[in-house]
């Protein structure tokens, strides 16, 4: 029986199983089995003939892709907010390849990718689903474009299709560390109370993966899915905006209700409604930071900022210096900062200072001691030493003289 049939069988069994304390272990095991088969299913995609995927050159400071069912308005949106025209039409599957456009926003270039519509079962290979979803895995932000008339079920279905290939939308990577040992069995350690899993359940899951000796350290109250994700490892945690298009076809009350949900953006391409807010949310979710550099005695160069991304713990002077020039780090002495991150203007800071958007920095390098200067320095230090030695000797002679008297 092929992998797809096995997946189908397990999904049916999970749907049939009552969710309660007694079946929890069994369901956990089924989830692990499912995750294993899904990973197997994905393997061929990467080994498939090269031409299959949508090889689109990365461009600009960030990559955003549009995922959605056919005819929700992805191509109309690309043509509306970038200079690129992408054919739009009422029939489904108008777009058959990946069409890149560029959003110029806040001195940055954000690549926006239009993709073919996907349908249920996309992750299992229906239509060009797997190639479309692979682009989502390689993006910094996913725009899930939805037709405002269609119910929430579309959003849930698309989330499930992305989940099946290991994409976790708007979730943080769970803080779990798995160490495989030679002996000692499976040990579950946690720095907080675990209310959703226990050691026996975790042991079952690990034995499903034929791992019998491991230490699992959890720093938050994790679920069994998080444990499976940490074993599988190939998960991608991506920010996602739910873009509800065609709001010209629903009532104001419905628009208001949709707009209030987190990560939702309501737009109408036909009436060009709310594009500014969409661009603002894209910018916010990409976590891009513009840093302007200035030289001593000159005004900052406002035309061409450094564009950095907000890492997990912010963006530091170090990442800015590395972007200017890799070798600059070793000559770095200190920097002065003007802007939101400076306590006073200008503030003298080191490599670990966390920068804010639109800060201005000036970099100071260590004073280059040329070899001649080094010689003279050395000379100075040696003569100093000589003086010190001579002084010590004079003092000693003096003492000896005093003694004789
Ligand atoms: N009422 C309304 N119709 C829209 C809006 N935006 C797009 N459409 C229509 O929706 C249909 C589909 O638009 P497309 O841009 O081709 O949608 P798509 O998601 O790119 O479709 P595929 O490429 O087939 O996946 C077209 O007839 C558009 O004119 C909108 O804001 N309001
Ligand atoms: K269409
Ligand atoms: Mg299209």
DSSP of 159-226: HHHHHHTTEEET-PPP-EEEEE-SSS-EEEEESS--SS--HHHHHHHHHHTT--SEEEEESS---HHH
Highest mean pLDDT: which of 53-62, 126-135, 272-281, 387-396?
A: 272-281
Of 152-156, 172-176, 311-315, minimum mean pLDDT range: 311-315
pLDDT tens for 281-290 read: 999 999 999 9
Residues with CB under 5 Å of ion ligand 3 are 74-75, 94-95
Cα 117 from Cα 126, distance rounded (Å): 11
Chain-wide mean pLDDT for the chain? 91
3-state helix, strand, coil in the chain (%, to 5): 40, 20, 35
pLDDT tens digits, 1-30: 788 899 999 999 999 999 888 899 999 999
Lowest mean pLDDT: which of 19-23, 156-160, 182-186, 201-205?
Answer: 19-23
Residue-level pLDDT at 151 = 72
- Cα of 116 to ligand 2 centre, how many Å? 9
C-alpha 280 to ligand 1 mean position (Å): 22
Q: Name the phi and psi angles at 176, rounded to 5.
A: -125, 135
Q: What pLDDT, on the 0 to 100 scale, is given for residue 367?
A: 86
**Is the pLDDT score of 40 beyond 70?**
yes
Give phi and psi for 339, each to the nearest 5. Answer: 135, -165
Supply the ipTM of this predicted assembly. 0.99
State residue 100's pLDDT score. 97
Residue with tokens 């004789």: 404
Q: How would you classify the pairing of strands 264-266 and 236-245?
A: parallel
pLDDT of 380 strictly over 50:
no
| Ligand 1 neighbourhood includes 89 CB (under 6 angstroms) | yes
pLDDT at 404 (0 to 100)? 85
Lowest mean pLDDT among 10-19, 245-254, 271-280, 364-373: 364-373
Q: Which atom of ligand 1 lies closest to the CA of 72?
A: 19
73 lines ligand 1 (CB under 6 A): yes
Banded pLDDT at 326 (limits 50, 70, 90): confident
Q: pLDDT by residue (tens digit) across 104-116?
A: 999 999 999 999 9
Specify the residue with its C-alpha closest to ligand 1, atom 3.
Answer: 246
pLDDT tens across 122-158, in order? 888 888 898 999 999 999 999 999 999 997 899 999 9
pLDDT of residue 281: 98
**For residue 251, what are its two tokens?**
């009532």
């Amino acid at each position: 029986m092929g992998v797809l049939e096995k997946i189908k069988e397990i999904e049916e069994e999970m749907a049939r199983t009552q969710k309660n304390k007694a079946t929890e272990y069994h369901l956990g095991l089924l989830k692990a089995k499912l995750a294993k088969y899904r990973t197997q299913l994905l393997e061929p995609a990467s080994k498939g003939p090269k031409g299959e995927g949508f090889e689109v050159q990365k461009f600009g400071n960030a990559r955003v892709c549009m995922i959605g069912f056919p005819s929700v308005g992805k191509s109309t949106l690309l043509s509306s907010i970038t200079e690129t025209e992408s054919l739009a039409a009422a029939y489904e599957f108008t777009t058959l390849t990946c069409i890149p456009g560029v959003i110029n926003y806040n001195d940055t270039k954000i690549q926006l990718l239009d993709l073919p519509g996907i349908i249920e079962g996309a992750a299992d290979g229906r239509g060009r689903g797997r190639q479309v979803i692979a682009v989502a895995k390689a993006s910094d932000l996913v725009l899930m474009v939805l037709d405002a008339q269609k119910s929430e079920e579309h959003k849930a279905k698309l989330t499930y299709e992305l989940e099946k290939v290991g994409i976790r939308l708007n979730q943080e990577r769970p803080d779990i560390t798995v160490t495989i040992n030679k002996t000692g069995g499976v040990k579950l350690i946690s720095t907080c109370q675990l209310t959703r899993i226990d050691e026996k359940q975790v042991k079952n899951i690990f034995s499903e993966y034929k791992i019998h000796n491991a230490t699992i350290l959890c720093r938050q109250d994790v679920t069994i899915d998080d444990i499976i994700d940490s074993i599988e490892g190939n998960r991608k945690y991506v920010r996602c905006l739910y873009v509800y298009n065609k709001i010209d076809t629903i009532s104001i009350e419905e628009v208001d209700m949709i707009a209030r949900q987190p990560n939702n953006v309501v737009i109408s391409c036909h009436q060009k409604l709310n594009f500014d807010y969409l661009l603002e949310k894209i910018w916010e979710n990409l976590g891009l930071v513009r840093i302007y550099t200035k030289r001593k005695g000159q005004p900052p160069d406002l035309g061409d900022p450094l564009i950095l991304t907000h890492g997990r713990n912010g963006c530091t002077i170090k990442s800015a210096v590395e972007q200017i020039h890799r070798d600059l780090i070793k000559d770095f002495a200190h920097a002065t900062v003007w802007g939101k991150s400076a306590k006073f203007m200008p503030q003298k800071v080191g490599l670990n200072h966390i920068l804010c958007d639109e800060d201005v920095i000036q970099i100071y390098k260590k004073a280059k001691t040329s070899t001649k200067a080094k010689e003279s320095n050395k000379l100075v230090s040696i003569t100093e030493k000589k003086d010190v030695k001579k002084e010590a000797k004079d003092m000693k002679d003096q003492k000896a003289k005093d003694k004789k008297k």
